[in-house]
Structure 1
Protein backbone atom coordinates (compact mmCIF):
# COMPACT_ATOMS: atom_id res chain seq x y z
CA UNK A 1 0.00 0.00 0.00
CA UNK A 2 2.85 2.35 0.87
CA UNK A 3 4.68 1.67 -2.40
CA UNK A 4 1.52 2.19 -4.45
CA UNK A 5 0.86 5.55 -2.83
CA UNK A 6 4.45 6.67 -3.32
CA UNK A 7 4.57 5.62 -6.97
CA UNK A 8 1.29 7.42 -7.60
CA UNK A 9 2.68 10.54 -5.97
CA UNK A 10 5.88 10.40 -8.10
CA UNK A 11 3.85 9.97 -11.26
CA UNK A 12 1.64 12.96 -10.51
CA UNK A 13 4.62 15.18 -9.68
CA UNK A 14 6.71 14.16 -12.70
CA UNK A 15 9.38 12.07 -10.97
CA UNK A 16 10.75 8.61 -11.65
CA UNK A 17 12.07 5.79 -9.54
CA UNK A 18 15.80 5.17 -10.07
CA UNK A 19 16.73 1.49 -10.22
CA UNK A 20 19.30 0.56 -7.56
CA UNK A 21 21.38 -2.58 -7.23
CA UNK A 22 20.73 -4.99 -4.42
CA UNK A 23 23.18 -4.54 -1.56
CA UNK A 24 21.66 -6.67 1.19
CA UNK A 25 20.76 -10.36 1.39
CA UNK A 26 18.16 -11.52 3.90
CA UNK A 27 18.33 -14.82 5.79
CA UNK A 28 15.81 -16.27 3.37
CA UNK A 29 18.13 -15.58 0.45
CA UNK A 30 16.18 -12.63 -0.98
CA UNK A 31 18.25 -9.59 -1.97
CA UNK A 32 17.06 -6.05 -1.43
CA UNK A 33 18.40 -2.52 -1.52
CA UNK A 34 19.19 -0.60 1.65
CA UNK A 35 18.04 2.55 -0.10
CA UNK A 36 14.29 2.61 -0.64
CA UNK A 37 14.01 5.11 -3.46
CA UNK A 38 16.05 7.70 -5.30
CA UNK A 39 14.00 10.34 -7.12
CA UNK A 40 15.01 11.46 -10.59
CA UNK A 41 13.59 14.38 -12.49
CA UNK A 42 11.46 13.49 -15.48
CA UNK A 43 12.72 15.64 -18.38
CA UNK A 44 9.26 15.72 -19.90
CA UNK A 45 7.79 17.29 -16.74
CA UNK A 46 10.26 19.87 -15.54
CA UNK A 47 8.49 21.14 -12.42
CA UNK A 48 11.38 21.26 -9.92
CA UNK A 49 12.82 24.43 -8.46
CA UNK A 50 16.15 22.96 -7.41
CA UNK A 51 17.45 19.48 -6.85
CA UNK A 52 20.59 18.04 -5.21
CA UNK A 53 21.43 14.38 -5.34
CA UNK A 54 24.46 12.14 -4.93
CA UNK A 55 25.64 11.73 -8.53
CA UNK A 56 27.81 8.61 -7.95
CA UNK A 57 25.83 5.94 -9.73
CA UNK A 58 27.86 3.09 -8.24
CA UNK A 59 27.26 4.22 -4.68
CA UNK A 60 24.39 2.10 -3.41
CA UNK A 61 25.42 1.41 0.20
CA UNK A 62 26.24 4.87 1.57
CA UNK A 63 23.12 6.86 2.52
CA UNK A 64 23.73 10.39 1.32
CA UNK A 65 21.03 12.91 2.20
CA UNK A 66 18.75 14.00 -0.59
CA UNK A 67 17.60 17.62 -0.70
CA UNK A 68 14.98 18.68 -3.17
CA UNK A 69 12.19 21.15 -3.78
CA UNK A 70 9.50 20.60 -6.35
CA UNK A 71 5.99 21.68 -7.10
CA UNK A 72 3.37 19.12 -6.25
CA UNK A 73 -0.37 19.22 -6.70
CA UNK A 74 -1.56 17.97 -3.32
CA UNK A 75 -5.31 17.78 -3.20
CA UNK A 76 -6.87 18.10 0.26
CA UNK A 77 -9.57 15.75 1.39
CA UNK A 78 -12.94 16.95 0.26
CA UNK A 79 -15.23 17.94 3.12
CA UNK A 80 -18.91 17.85 2.48
CA UNK A 81 -20.48 21.11 3.52
CA UNK A 82 -23.87 20.43 5.04
CA UNK A 83 -26.13 23.42 5.28
CA UNK A 84 -27.94 23.60 8.59
CA UNK A 85 -31.44 24.95 8.27
CA UNK A 86 -33.18 26.44 11.26
CA UNK A 87 -36.17 24.60 12.55
CA UNK A 88 -39.49 26.04 11.51
CA UNK A 89 -41.47 27.89 14.15
CA UNK A 90 -44.81 26.37 15.06
CA UNK A 91 -46.91 29.53 15.04
CA UNK A 92 -49.93 27.68 16.39
CA UNK A 93 -48.18 27.50 19.78
CA UNK A 94 -46.86 31.08 19.81
CA UNK A 95 -48.63 33.81 21.75
CA UNK A 96 -49.21 36.32 18.94
CA UNK A 97 -49.96 39.25 21.25
CA UNK A 98 -46.79 38.69 23.26
CA UNK A 99 -44.85 38.29 20.01
CA UNK A 100 -46.15 41.63 18.71
CA UNK A 101 -45.34 43.42 21.97
CA UNK A 102 -41.80 42.04 22.07
CA UNK A 103 -41.27 42.87 18.40
CA UNK A 104 -42.50 46.46 18.79
CA UNK A 105 -40.27 46.95 21.83
CA UNK A 106 -37.22 45.75 19.88
CA UNK A 107 -37.99 47.83 16.79
CA UNK A 108 -38.37 51.02 18.82
CA UNK A 109 -34.77 50.77 20.04
CA UNK A 110 -33.39 49.73 16.63
CA UNK A 111 -31.26 52.24 14.73
CA UNK A 112 -31.10 51.79 10.95
CA UNK A 113 -29.45 53.79 8.21
CA UNK A 114 -31.56 56.28 6.30
CA UNK A 115 -31.08 54.70 2.90
CA UNK A 116 -32.51 51.17 2.64
CA UNK A 117 -29.79 48.65 1.93
CA UNK A 118 -28.95 44.97 2.30
CA UNK A 119 -27.64 45.38 5.87
CA UNK A 120 -30.90 46.89 7.11
CA UNK A 121 -32.86 44.07 5.52
CA UNK A 122 -30.64 41.46 7.16
CA UNK A 123 -31.10 43.09 10.58
CA UNK A 124 -34.87 43.15 10.25
CA UNK A 125 -35.02 39.52 9.14
CA UNK A 126 -32.79 38.39 12.02
CA UNK A 127 -34.96 40.30 14.52
CA UNK A 128 -38.11 38.63 13.19
CA UNK A 129 -36.54 35.16 13.41
CA UNK A 130 -35.00 35.62 16.88
CA UNK A 131 -38.19 37.09 18.34
CA UNK A 132 -40.25 34.23 16.95
CA UNK A 133 -37.86 31.62 18.37
CA UNK A 134 -37.96 33.28 21.80
CA UNK A 135 -41.75 33.25 21.87
CA UNK A 136 -42.02 29.65 20.61
CA UNK A 137 -42.35 27.03 23.36
CA UNK A 138 -39.22 24.91 23.89
CA UNK A 139 -39.15 21.41 22.41
CA UNK A 140 -37.32 19.85 25.35
CA UNK A 141 -39.23 17.53 27.66
CA UNK A 142 -38.49 19.66 30.70
CA UNK A 143 -40.12 22.99 29.98
CA UNK A 144 -39.22 26.10 31.98
CA UNK A 145 -41.44 27.24 34.81
CA UNK A 146 -42.43 30.55 33.20
CA UNK A 147 -43.92 28.64 30.25
CA UNK A 148 -45.74 26.12 32.46
CA UNK A 149 -47.23 28.95 34.53
CA UNK A 150 -49.22 30.06 31.47
CA UNK A 151 -50.74 26.60 31.04
CA UNK A 152 -51.59 25.77 34.66
CA UNK A 153 -53.63 28.28 36.63
CA UNK A 154 -52.80 26.61 39.93
CA UNK A 155 -49.16 27.77 39.83
CA UNK A 156 -50.06 31.23 38.59
CA UNK A 157 -49.62 32.72 42.07
CA UNK A 158 -45.93 31.76 42.33
CA UNK A 159 -44.89 34.61 40.06
CA UNK A 160 -42.15 32.68 38.25
CA UNK A 161 -41.39 35.54 35.85
CA UNK A 162 -39.95 37.63 38.67
CA UNK A 163 -37.35 35.15 39.90
CA UNK A 164 -34.33 33.41 38.47
CA UNK A 165 -33.22 29.80 38.83
CA UNK A 166 -31.08 29.27 41.92
CA UNK A 167 -32.51 32.16 43.95
CA UNK A 168 -34.85 31.15 46.81
CA UNK A 169 -38.43 32.32 46.67
CA UNK A 170 -39.34 34.93 49.33
CA UNK A 171 -41.80 32.42 50.78
CA UNK A 172 -38.76 30.32 51.75
CA UNK A 173 -36.12 32.96 52.38
CA UNK A 174 -38.33 34.78 54.91
CA UNK A 175 -38.81 31.75 57.19
CA UNK A 176 -37.27 32.19 60.64
CA UNK A 177 -35.83 29.53 62.92
CA UNK A 178 -39.00 29.44 64.98
CA UNK A 179 -40.52 25.98 65.27
CA UNK A 180 -44.04 27.32 64.80
CA UNK A 181 -43.03 29.30 61.74
CA UNK A 182 -41.42 26.24 60.16
CA UNK A 183 -44.51 24.11 60.92
CA UNK A 184 -46.73 26.58 59.05
CA UNK A 185 -44.56 26.50 55.93
CA UNK A 186 -45.85 23.22 54.29
CA UNK A 187 -49.44 24.51 54.18
CA UNK A 188 -48.35 27.82 52.65
CA UNK A 189 -46.23 26.08 50.00
CA UNK A 190 -49.04 23.69 49.04
CA UNK A 191 -51.43 26.58 48.57
CA UNK A 192 -48.83 28.58 46.65
CA UNK A 193 -47.98 25.72 44.28
CA UNK A 194 -51.59 24.57 43.81
CA UNK A 195 -51.09 21.13 45.39
CA UNK A 196 -53.42 21.72 48.33
CA UNK A 197 -56.31 19.23 48.22
CA UNK A 198 -59.55 21.16 47.65
CA UNK A 199 -62.99 19.97 46.58
CA UNK A 200 -62.59 21.31 43.04
CA UNK A 201 -59.33 19.37 42.71
CA UNK A 202 -61.01 16.13 43.78
CA UNK A 203 -63.79 16.70 41.25
CA UNK A 204 -61.33 17.33 38.42
CA UNK A 205 -59.12 14.27 39.05
CA UNK A 206 -61.68 11.71 40.23
CA UNK A 207 -63.18 9.00 38.05
CA UNK A 208 -66.50 9.22 39.84
CA UNK A 209 -68.79 12.21 39.76
CA UNK A 210 -67.71 14.43 42.65
CA UNK A 211 -69.49 17.64 43.51
CA UNK A 212 -66.95 20.52 43.45
CA UNK A 213 -69.13 22.64 45.75
CA UNK A 214 -67.47 23.77 48.96
CA UNK A 215 -68.48 21.48 51.86
CA UNK A 216 -68.03 24.33 54.35
CA UNK A 217 -70.46 26.93 52.97
CA UNK A 218 -72.24 25.02 50.15
CA UNK A 219 -72.36 28.18 48.04
CA UNK A 220 -69.91 27.74 45.16
CA UNK A 221 -67.04 25.62 43.90
CA UNK A 222 -64.19 25.31 46.39
CA UNK A 223 -61.36 26.78 44.37
CA UNK A 224 -58.17 28.26 45.75
CA UNK A 225 -59.51 31.80 45.48
CA UNK A 226 -62.74 30.77 47.22
CA UNK A 227 -60.88 29.10 50.08
CA UNK A 228 -58.50 32.02 50.66
CA UNK A 229 -60.77 35.03 50.13
CA UNK A 230 -64.48 34.16 49.80
CA UNK A 231 -65.61 31.19 51.92
CA UNK A 232 -68.16 32.54 54.43
CA UNK A 233 -67.55 29.70 56.89
CA UNK A 234 -63.97 30.95 57.36
CA UNK A 235 -64.75 34.67 57.40
CA UNK A 236 -64.30 34.99 61.18
CA UNK A 237 -60.79 33.54 60.93
CA UNK A 238 -59.95 35.60 57.89
CA UNK A 239 -61.11 39.04 59.06
CA UNK A 240 -58.66 39.42 61.95
CA UNK A 241 -55.72 38.72 59.68
CA UNK A 242 -56.99 40.88 56.82
CA UNK A 243 -57.21 43.95 59.05
CA UNK A 244 -53.61 43.49 60.12
CA UNK A 245 -52.66 42.78 56.52
CA UNK A 246 -54.37 45.93 55.27
CA UNK A 247 -52.70 48.16 57.87
CA UNK A 248 -49.28 46.75 57.07
CA UNK A 249 -49.77 47.31 53.34
CA UNK A 250 -50.80 50.93 53.82
CA UNK A 251 -47.62 51.57 55.79
CA UNK A 252 -45.46 49.81 53.19
CA UNK A 253 -44.90 52.58 50.66
CA UNK A 254 -41.57 52.42 48.84
CA UNK A 255 -40.28 55.88 47.95
CA UNK A 256 -37.69 54.42 45.59
CA UNK A 257 -40.03 52.30 43.47
CA UNK A 258 -43.22 54.28 44.24
CA UNK A 259 -45.14 51.07 44.84
CA UNK A 260 -48.19 50.86 47.06
CA UNK A 261 -50.78 48.11 46.90
CA UNK A 262 -53.94 48.81 48.89
CA UNK A 263 -55.98 45.82 47.66
CA UNK A 264 -55.75 42.61 49.67
CA UNK A 265 -56.63 39.83 47.22
CA UNK A 266 -55.66 36.18 46.80
CA UNK A 267 -52.40 37.03 45.03
CA UNK A 268 -51.44 39.49 47.75
CA UNK A 269 -52.07 36.88 50.46
CA UNK A 270 -50.33 33.92 48.83
CA UNK A 271 -47.41 35.81 47.27
CA UNK A 272 -46.81 39.26 48.81
CA UNK A 273 -43.61 39.68 46.80
CA UNK A 274 -45.68 39.84 43.59
CA UNK A 275 -47.30 43.12 44.67
CA UNK A 276 -44.63 44.50 46.99
CA UNK A 277 -41.14 45.39 45.76
CA UNK A 278 -39.01 44.21 48.70
CA UNK A 279 -35.94 46.13 47.52
CA UNK A 280 -33.02 46.90 49.82
CA UNK A 281 -33.64 50.62 50.20
CA UNK A 282 -33.86 52.95 53.21
CA UNK A 283 -37.59 52.24 53.55
CA UNK A 284 -36.80 48.78 54.99
CA UNK A 285 -38.85 47.14 52.25
CA UNK A 286 -37.15 43.80 52.75
CA UNK A 287 -38.08 43.72 56.43
CA UNK A 288 -41.68 44.71 55.67
CA UNK A 289 -41.90 42.00 53.00
CA UNK A 290 -40.74 39.41 55.55
CA UNK A 291 -43.49 40.60 57.92
CA UNK A 292 -46.07 40.17 55.15
CA UNK A 293 -44.78 36.67 54.41
CA UNK A 294 -44.94 35.78 58.11
CA UNK A 295 -48.52 37.05 58.31
CA UNK A 296 -49.38 35.12 55.15
CA UNK A 297 -48.13 31.85 56.67
CA UNK A 298 -50.18 32.45 59.81
CA UNK A 299 -53.33 33.17 57.80
CA UNK A 300 -52.96 30.12 55.53
CA UNK A 301 -52.29 27.81 58.46
CA UNK A 302 -55.25 29.17 60.45
CA UNK A 303 -57.57 28.66 57.47
CA UNK A 304 -56.23 25.14 57.06
CA UNK A 305 -56.88 24.26 60.71
CA UNK A 306 -60.37 25.78 60.68
CA UNK A 307 -61.28 23.93 57.48
CA UNK A 308 -60.24 20.56 58.90
CA UNK A 309 -62.11 21.22 62.15
CA UNK A 310 -65.34 21.92 60.23
CA UNK A 311 -64.87 18.83 58.06
CA UNK A 312 -64.28 16.67 61.12
CA UNK A 313 -67.70 17.71 62.44
CA UNK A 314 -69.42 16.44 59.27
CA UNK A 315 -70.80 12.87 59.04
CA UNK A 316 -68.12 10.29 58.38
CA UNK A 317 -69.62 9.41 54.99
CA UNK A 318 -69.08 12.98 53.78
CA UNK A 319 -65.56 13.71 55.00
CA UNK A 320 -63.78 10.78 53.34
CA UNK A 321 -60.87 12.26 51.39
CA UNK A 322 -61.90 15.87 52.04
CA UNK A 323 -59.40 16.75 54.74
CA UNK A 324 -56.01 18.02 53.68
CA UNK A 325 -53.12 15.61 54.05
CA UNK A 326 -50.95 18.11 55.91
CA UNK A 327 -50.85 17.15 59.62
CA UNK A 328 -52.06 19.64 62.20
Structure 2
Protein backbone atom coordinates (compact mmCIF):
# COMPACT_ATOMS: atom_id res chain seq x y z
CA UNK A 1 0.00 0.00 0.00
CA UNK A 2 1.22 3.48 -0.75
CA UNK A 3 1.38 5.76 2.12
CA UNK A 4 -1.27 8.36 2.50
CA UNK A 5 1.19 11.12 3.17
CA UNK A 6 -1.83 13.30 3.78
CA UNK A 7 -5.34 13.50 2.29
CA UNK A 8 -4.69 14.44 -1.33
CA UNK A 9 -7.60 16.85 -1.62
CA UNK A 10 -6.49 18.67 1.53
CA UNK A 11 -3.01 19.11 0.12
CA UNK A 12 -4.39 20.29 -3.21
CA UNK A 13 -6.77 22.70 -1.53
CA UNK A 14 -4.14 24.17 0.76
CA UNK A 15 -1.70 24.47 -2.12
CA UNK A 16 -4.35 26.22 -4.20
CA UNK A 17 -4.72 28.84 -1.49
CA UNK A 18 -0.97 29.39 -1.04
CA UNK A 19 -0.91 27.00 1.88
CA UNK A 20 -3.02 29.25 4.10
CA UNK A 21 -6.55 29.16 5.54
CA UNK A 22 -8.81 30.56 8.43
CA UNK A 23 -11.90 32.49 9.48
CA UNK A 24 -12.20 36.23 8.97
CA UNK A 25 -11.70 38.48 11.97
CA UNK A 26 -14.77 39.77 13.74
CA UNK A 27 -15.66 43.47 13.93
CA UNK A 28 -13.58 45.33 16.48
CA UNK A 29 -14.13 48.67 18.13
CA UNK A 30 -10.77 50.11 17.17
CA UNK A 31 -8.39 48.89 14.49
CA UNK A 32 -4.95 50.04 13.45
CA UNK A 33 -3.92 49.03 9.95
CA UNK A 34 -0.32 49.00 8.73
CA UNK A 35 0.97 48.34 5.23
CA UNK A 36 3.63 45.61 5.05
CA UNK A 37 6.06 44.87 2.25
CA UNK A 38 6.50 41.28 1.09
CA UNK A 39 9.62 40.93 3.21
CA UNK A 40 7.92 42.45 6.26
CA UNK A 41 4.91 40.15 5.86
CA UNK A 42 7.12 37.06 5.64
CA UNK A 43 9.14 38.16 8.68
CA UNK A 44 6.04 38.93 10.75
CA UNK A 45 4.44 35.58 9.99
CA UNK A 46 7.70 33.77 10.62
CA UNK A 47 7.64 35.23 14.14
CA UNK A 48 4.06 34.00 14.58
CA UNK A 49 5.20 30.60 13.32
CA UNK A 50 7.87 30.44 16.00
CA UNK A 51 5.39 31.28 18.76
CA UNK A 52 2.72 28.92 17.39
CA UNK A 53 5.16 26.04 16.96
CA UNK A 54 6.25 26.41 20.59
CA UNK A 55 2.61 26.42 21.74
CA UNK A 56 1.97 23.31 19.65
CA UNK A 57 4.75 21.32 21.35
CA UNK A 58 2.39 19.61 23.89
CA UNK A 59 -0.14 18.90 21.13
CA UNK A 60 -2.55 20.62 18.75
CA UNK A 61 -5.46 20.12 16.38
CA UNK A 62 -6.62 21.84 13.22
CA UNK A 63 -10.03 21.63 11.55
CA UNK A 64 -10.55 22.60 7.94
CA UNK A 65 -13.66 23.51 5.98
CA UNK A 66 -13.73 23.63 2.20
CA UNK A 67 -16.64 25.12 0.24
CA UNK A 68 -17.42 26.29 -3.27
CA UNK A 69 -16.52 24.20 -6.30
CA UNK A 70 -15.33 21.51 -3.90
CA UNK A 71 -16.85 20.86 -0.47
CA UNK A 72 -15.24 18.94 2.34
CA UNK A 73 -13.83 18.94 5.83
CA UNK A 74 -10.67 17.69 7.48
CA UNK A 75 -9.16 17.12 10.88
CA UNK A 76 -5.51 16.95 11.89
CA UNK A 77 -4.58 16.01 15.48
CA UNK A 78 -1.10 15.67 16.97
CA UNK A 79 -0.47 13.80 20.22
CA UNK A 80 3.27 14.10 20.96
CA UNK A 81 3.02 12.31 24.32
CA UNK A 82 1.47 9.29 22.64
CA UNK A 83 3.70 9.60 19.60
CA UNK A 84 0.69 9.68 17.27
CA UNK A 85 -0.75 12.01 14.63
CA UNK A 86 -4.13 11.61 12.94
CA UNK A 87 -5.40 12.96 9.63
CA UNK A 88 -8.89 12.70 8.13
CA UNK A 89 -10.47 14.24 5.05
CA UNK A 90 -14.11 13.85 3.97
CA UNK A 91 -15.57 15.03 0.67
CA UNK A 92 -18.51 13.87 -1.41
CA UNK A 93 -19.23 10.94 0.90
CA UNK A 94 -15.66 9.66 0.60
CA UNK A 95 -13.15 9.57 3.42
CA UNK A 96 -9.41 9.18 3.72
CA UNK A 97 -7.80 8.79 7.13
CA UNK A 98 -4.42 7.91 8.54
CA UNK A 99 -2.72 7.43 11.89
CA UNK A 100 1.06 7.93 12.00
CA UNK A 101 2.87 6.35 14.95
CA UNK A 102 6.46 7.38 15.51
CA UNK A 103 8.91 4.46 15.35
CA UNK A 104 6.15 2.03 14.33
CA UNK A 105 4.36 2.92 11.10
CA UNK A 106 1.09 3.96 9.49
CA UNK A 107 -2.56 2.92 9.81
CA UNK A 108 -4.46 3.80 6.63
CA UNK A 109 -8.23 3.69 6.23
CA UNK A 110 -9.44 1.12 3.70
CA UNK A 111 -11.44 3.39 1.47
CA UNK A 112 -10.84 1.71 -1.88
CA UNK A 113 -13.24 -0.95 -3.25
CA UNK A 114 -10.54 -3.57 -3.84
CA UNK A 115 -9.36 -3.50 -0.22
CA UNK A 116 -12.90 -3.65 1.13
CA UNK A 117 -13.70 -6.59 -1.15
CA UNK A 118 -10.50 -8.34 -0.09
CA UNK A 119 -11.15 -8.19 3.66
CA UNK A 120 -14.73 -9.33 3.08
CA UNK A 121 -13.46 -12.30 1.06
CA UNK A 122 -10.93 -13.01 3.83
CA UNK A 123 -13.84 -13.21 6.29
CA UNK A 124 -12.66 -10.11 8.12
CA UNK A 125 -15.39 -7.59 7.23
CA UNK A 126 -14.80 -5.60 10.44
CA UNK A 127 -11.32 -4.53 9.25
CA UNK A 128 -11.18 -0.81 8.48
CA UNK A 129 -7.44 -0.05 8.53
CA UNK A 130 -4.25 -1.48 7.05
CA UNK A 131 -1.02 -1.19 9.04
CA UNK A 132 2.30 -0.68 7.28
CA UNK A 133 5.29 -1.03 9.57
CA UNK A 134 7.93 1.70 9.37
CA UNK A 135 10.29 1.85 12.32
CA UNK A 136 12.09 4.79 10.73
CA UNK A 137 9.00 7.00 10.86
CA UNK A 138 9.75 10.21 12.75
CA UNK A 139 6.63 11.90 14.10
CA UNK A 140 8.22 15.36 14.13
CA UNK A 141 9.15 15.09 10.45
CA UNK A 142 5.71 13.72 9.56
CA UNK A 143 3.95 16.61 11.31
CA UNK A 144 6.33 19.21 9.88
CA UNK A 145 5.43 18.09 6.36
CA UNK A 146 1.68 18.28 7.02
CA UNK A 147 -0.16 20.87 4.97
CA UNK A 148 -2.07 22.02 8.07
CA UNK A 149 0.92 22.40 10.41
CA UNK A 150 1.05 25.96 11.85
CA UNK A 151 4.67 26.39 10.83
CA UNK A 152 3.86 25.33 7.27
CA UNK A 153 0.81 27.55 6.94
CA UNK A 154 2.71 30.57 8.23
CA UNK A 155 5.89 30.23 6.19
CA UNK A 156 5.00 28.73 2.80
CA UNK A 157 4.42 31.39 0.14
CA UNK A 158 3.82 34.23 2.61
CA UNK A 159 6.20 36.77 1.06
CA UNK A 160 3.48 39.02 -0.36
CA UNK A 161 2.80 42.66 0.39
CA UNK A 162 -0.36 43.26 2.40
CA UNK A 163 -1.72 44.67 5.61
CA UNK A 164 -1.51 44.00 9.33
CA UNK A 165 -4.57 45.11 11.27
CA UNK A 166 -4.23 45.24 15.05
CA UNK A 167 -7.48 45.18 17.06
CA UNK A 168 -8.20 46.72 20.45
CA UNK A 169 -7.77 43.36 22.20
CA UNK A 170 -4.24 43.06 20.74
CA UNK A 171 -5.21 40.34 18.28
CA UNK A 172 -4.28 40.92 14.65
CA UNK A 173 -5.24 40.01 11.10
CA UNK A 174 -2.68 39.67 8.32
CA UNK A 175 -4.10 39.99 4.80
CA UNK A 176 -2.50 39.56 1.40
CA UNK A 177 -3.18 38.07 -2.03
CA UNK A 178 -1.25 35.03 -3.32
CA UNK A 179 -1.80 33.45 -6.72
CA UNK A 180 -5.23 35.03 -7.00
CA UNK A 181 -6.38 33.94 -3.53
CA UNK A 182 -7.27 36.45 -0.84
CA UNK A 183 -5.66 35.26 2.39
CA UNK A 184 -6.49 36.31 5.95
CA UNK A 185 -4.54 35.02 8.94
CA UNK A 186 -5.85 35.72 12.43
CA UNK A 187 -3.44 35.82 15.38
CA UNK A 188 -4.67 35.99 18.97
CA UNK A 189 -3.32 38.40 21.63
CA UNK A 190 -0.73 35.79 22.66
CA UNK A 191 0.71 35.81 19.14
CA UNK A 192 -0.66 32.38 18.14
CA UNK A 193 -2.18 31.41 14.82
CA UNK A 194 -5.82 30.64 15.62
CA UNK A 195 -7.53 30.76 12.23
CA UNK A 196 -7.14 31.70 8.60
CA UNK A 197 -9.11 31.91 5.40
CA UNK A 198 -8.25 31.78 1.72
CA UNK A 199 -10.74 32.46 -1.06
CA UNK A 200 -10.22 32.34 -4.80
CA UNK A 201 -11.06 30.43 -7.98
CA UNK A 202 -14.45 29.45 -6.60
CA UNK A 203 -13.09 27.97 -3.38
CA UNK A 204 -13.16 29.09 0.23
CA UNK A 205 -10.90 27.29 2.67
CA UNK A 206 -10.89 27.81 6.44
CA UNK A 207 -8.62 26.48 9.16
CA UNK A 208 -9.08 26.75 12.93
CA UNK A 209 -6.45 25.82 15.53
CA UNK A 210 -6.46 24.66 19.14
CA UNK A 211 -3.30 24.13 21.18
CA UNK A 212 -2.73 21.78 24.10
CA UNK A 213 -2.34 18.06 24.94
CA UNK A 214 -4.35 15.69 22.73
CA UNK A 215 -5.13 11.99 23.06
CA UNK A 216 -5.22 9.88 19.91
CA UNK A 217 -6.01 6.15 20.09
CA UNK A 218 -4.82 4.01 17.17
CA UNK A 219 -7.17 1.41 15.64
CA UNK A 220 -7.60 -1.84 17.56
CA UNK A 221 -6.20 -5.13 16.27
CA UNK A 222 -9.72 -6.37 15.50
CA UNK A 223 -10.18 -3.68 12.86
CA UNK A 224 -6.63 -3.75 11.48
CA UNK A 225 -4.86 -5.91 8.91
CA UNK A 226 -1.17 -6.01 8.04
CA UNK A 227 -0.06 -4.63 4.69
CA UNK A 228 1.37 -7.96 3.47
CA UNK A 229 -1.82 -9.84 4.35
CA UNK A 230 -3.98 -7.28 2.59
CA UNK A 231 -1.75 -7.37 -0.46
CA UNK A 232 -2.22 -11.14 -0.60
CA UNK A 233 -5.98 -10.81 -0.30
CA UNK A 234 -6.22 -8.20 -3.04
CA UNK A 235 -4.15 -10.41 -5.34
CA UNK A 236 -6.52 -13.35 -4.85
CA UNK A 237 -9.49 -11.22 -5.89
CA UNK A 238 -8.20 -11.49 -9.46
CA UNK A 239 -6.96 -15.08 -9.17
CA UNK A 240 -9.03 -16.57 -12.07
CA UNK A 241 -7.92 -13.87 -14.50
CA UNK A 242 -4.31 -14.07 -13.32
CA UNK A 243 -4.07 -17.84 -13.78
CA UNK A 244 -5.65 -17.57 -17.23
CA UNK A 245 -3.25 -14.83 -18.21
CA UNK A 246 -0.09 -16.66 -17.14
CA UNK A 247 -1.26 -19.89 -18.82
CA UNK A 248 -1.77 -18.09 -22.12
CA UNK A 249 1.51 -16.23 -21.72
CA UNK A 250 3.35 -19.48 -21.03
CA UNK A 251 1.87 -21.08 -24.14
CA UNK A 252 2.80 -18.09 -26.30
CA UNK A 253 6.34 -17.91 -24.92
CA UNK A 254 6.84 -21.65 -25.48
CA UNK A 255 5.76 -21.41 -29.13
CA UNK A 256 8.06 -18.46 -29.62
CA UNK A 257 10.98 -20.35 -28.09
CA UNK A 258 10.36 -23.31 -30.44
CA UNK A 259 10.88 -21.08 -33.52
CA UNK A 260 8.30 -22.99 -35.54
CA UNK A 261 9.72 -26.41 -34.68
CA UNK A 262 8.07 -29.16 -32.65
CA UNK A 263 7.39 -28.10 -29.06
CA UNK A 264 9.22 -30.26 -26.55
CA UNK A 265 7.51 -31.15 -23.28
CA UNK A 266 10.61 -30.26 -21.26
CA UNK A 267 10.82 -26.85 -22.94
CA UNK A 268 7.13 -26.21 -22.27
CA UNK A 269 7.55 -26.96 -18.57
CA UNK A 270 10.67 -24.80 -18.30
CA UNK A 271 9.13 -21.76 -20.00
CA UNK A 272 5.85 -21.95 -18.08
CA UNK A 273 7.63 -22.30 -14.73
CA UNK A 274 9.76 -19.27 -15.60
CA UNK A 275 6.67 -17.21 -16.41
CA UNK A 276 4.89 -18.33 -13.25
CA UNK A 277 7.92 -17.48 -11.11
CA UNK A 278 8.11 -14.01 -12.65
CA UNK A 279 4.39 -13.48 -12.11
CA UNK A 280 4.48 -14.48 -8.45
CA UNK A 281 7.47 -12.20 -7.93
CA UNK A 282 5.59 -9.26 -9.43
CA UNK A 283 2.55 -10.03 -7.28
CA UNK A 284 4.76 -10.53 -4.22
CA UNK A 285 2.47 -13.46 -3.46
CA UNK A 286 3.25 -17.12 -4.19
CA UNK A 287 -0.18 -17.59 -5.70
CA UNK A 288 0.25 -19.60 -8.91
CA UNK A 289 1.78 -23.07 -8.94
CA UNK A 290 2.73 -25.64 -11.58
CA UNK A 291 2.59 -29.42 -11.76
CA UNK A 292 3.94 -31.70 -14.46
CA UNK A 293 1.56 -33.77 -16.56
CA UNK A 294 2.40 -36.57 -18.99
CA UNK A 295 2.31 -34.23 -22.00
CA UNK A 296 3.04 -30.85 -20.47
CA UNK A 297 2.25 -28.89 -17.34
CA UNK A 298 -0.70 -27.74 -15.24
CA UNK A 299 -0.94 -24.16 -14.03
CA UNK A 300 -3.23 -23.57 -11.06
CA UNK A 301 -4.03 -21.57 -7.93
CA UNK A 302 -6.34 -22.14 -4.97
CA UNK A 303 -7.91 -19.32 -3.02
CA UNK A 304 -7.09 -20.06 0.66
CA UNK A 305 -10.30 -18.40 1.88
CA UNK A 306 -12.91 -19.56 -0.64
CA UNK A 307 -11.07 -22.85 -1.40
CA UNK A 308 -11.91 -22.38 -5.09
CA UNK A 309 -9.30 -23.49 -7.63
CA UNK A 310 -8.59 -22.18 -11.11
CA UNK A 311 -6.56 -24.55 -13.30
CA UNK A 312 -5.30 -24.79 -16.88
CA UNK A 313 -3.45 -27.65 -18.57
CA UNK A 314 -0.89 -26.89 -21.26
CA UNK A 315 -0.12 -29.73 -23.66
CA UNK A 316 2.66 -29.94 -26.22
CA UNK A 317 1.12 -30.87 -29.57
CA UNK A 318 3.44 -30.71 -32.56
CA UNK A 319 4.37 -27.08 -33.17
CA UNK A 320 1.51 -25.91 -31.00
CA UNK A 321 0.60 -25.69 -27.33
CA UNK A 322 -2.96 -26.64 -26.48
CA UNK A 323 -4.35 -24.79 -23.45
CA UNK A 324 -7.37 -26.27 -21.71
CA UNK A 325 -9.25 -24.94 -18.71
CA UNK A 326 -9.92 -27.65 -16.17
CA UNK A 327 -13.38 -27.91 -14.64
Q: Could you say which TM-score interval applies, normalised by the shorter chain? A: under 0.3
> Which has a greater percent of helix?
1
Q: Normalised by the size of structure 2, how large is the TM-score? A: 0.20
Q: Which has the higher contact order (CA 8 A, sep 6+)?
A: 2
- Point out the structure with max Rg over C-alpha: 1
> Which has a greater percent of strand?
2
